[in-house]
């Protein structure tokens, strides 16, 4: 197993991130199609991280639309996660691409919110659906008053902008309960499961429902 932190920088510097990103998008869409015939999973969404290098390609919107078209996936179940680094340069291009894909039904999440240099004015202009609280704030939310305040503020900001909010890196019940009390309703992290293959994920879902 090779983790993203070990290979993404190499993939980006070599531009291999572009074919990797398209392959990943296709895999996600094909999985959505497989789930569409299973009532217990047909409403599930899949979020895909998009590299800034891939997003800035002039063909990005057409590439996504082509993959959606050839796979037959429901675009309303596909979420693209963008990082704050995208919001620094050529904001108009970012907004245009997001708007075109939003019109098709694709949703967007702003990943690692609060760790970069994005302007709140830009976020207000961009058609995001969700903010993601970075795990660097979540991991010490019970011990560090500053992290607790930041997490609470992001949740309030998302609510005021009518955006959903999700916390990443939730590893224990204390973190979960604190964030839940602050108004966060979506979570990801080892408290729920470590990354697993699709078949194991499906078994976990069935087990929870039984």
**Tokens 């959606």 belong to residue:** 68
C-alpha to C-alpha distance for 118 and 128, rounded to whole angstroms: 13
Closest by CA to 205, choosing from 188, 192, 187, is 192
Tokens describing residue 200: 């194991």
Query: What's the confidence (pLDDT) of residue 119?
Result: 64
Kindly tell me if the per-residue pLDDT of 183 is higher than 90.
yes
User: Which domains are assigned to the chain?
Assistant: 1-109 (3.20.20.450), 129-210 (no CATH)
Query: What's the confidence (pLDDT) of residue 91?
Result: 86
CA–chain centroid gap for 3, Å, is 17
Kindly tell me if the per-residue pLDDT of 75 is higher than 90.
yes
Q: Look up residue 107 and give its DSSP letter.
A: E
- pTM of the complete model: 0.92
Query: What's the confidence (pLDDT) of residue 89?
Result: 76
Between 173-181 and 145-160, two packed helices, what is the crossing angle to 10 degrees? Answer: 40
Kindly tell me if the per-residue pLDDT of 64 is higher than 90.
yes
Helical (H) or strand (E) element with 112: strand 107-113
Q: Are strands 46-49 and 164-167 parallel, antiparallel or unpaired?
A: unpaired
Average of per-residue pLDDT across 116-133: 81
Average of per-residue pLDDT across 151-159: 94
DSSP string spanning 12-74? HHTTTHHHHHHHHHHHHHHHHHHHHTSTTTTT--EEEE--HHHHTSTTHHHHHHHHHHHHT--
Kindly tell me if the per-residue pLDDT of 113 is higher than 90.
no
pLDDT tier at 120, thresholds 50, 70, 90: confident
Q: How much of the chain exceeds pLDDT 90, in percent?
A: 80
Closest by CA to 29, choosing from 112, 108, 106, 110, is 106
Look at 47-51, 78-82, 85-89, 186-190 and tell me which has the smallest mean pLDDT.
85-89
Average of per-residue pLDDT across 23-31: 98
132 and 112 in contact (C-beta within 8 Å)?
yes
The mean of the pLDDT values for the chain is: 92
Kindly tell me if the per-residue pLDDT of 208 is higher than 90.
no
Radius of gyration of the chain (CA): 17
């Amino acid at each position: 197993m090779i983790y993203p932190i070990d290979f993404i920088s190499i993939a980006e510097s070599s531009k291999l991130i572009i074919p990797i990103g398209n392959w990943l998008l296709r895999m996600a869409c094909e999985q959505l199609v497989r789930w569409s015939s299973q009532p217990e999973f047909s409403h599930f969404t899949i979020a895909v991280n998009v590299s800034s290098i891939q997003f800035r390609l002039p063909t990005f919107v057409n590439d996504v639309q082509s993959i959606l078209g050839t796979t037959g996936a429901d675009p309303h179940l596909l979420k693209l996660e963008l990082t704050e680094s995208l919001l620094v340069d050529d904001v108009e291009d970012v907004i245009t691409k997001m708007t075109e894909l939003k019109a098709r039904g694709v949703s967007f999440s702003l990943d690692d919110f609060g760790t970069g240099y994005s302007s709140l004015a830009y976020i207000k202009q961009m058609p995001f659906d969700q903010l993601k609280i970075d795990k660097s704030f979540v991991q010490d939310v019970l011990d560090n008053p500053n992290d607790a305040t930041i997490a609470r503020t992001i949740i309030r900001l998302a609510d005021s902008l009518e955006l959903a909010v999700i916390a990443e890196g939730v590893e224990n019940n204390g973190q979960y309960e604190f964030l839940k009390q602050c108004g966060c309703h979506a979570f990801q992290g080892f408290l729920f499961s470590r990354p697993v293959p699709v078949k194991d994920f499906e078994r976990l879902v069935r087990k929870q429902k039984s």
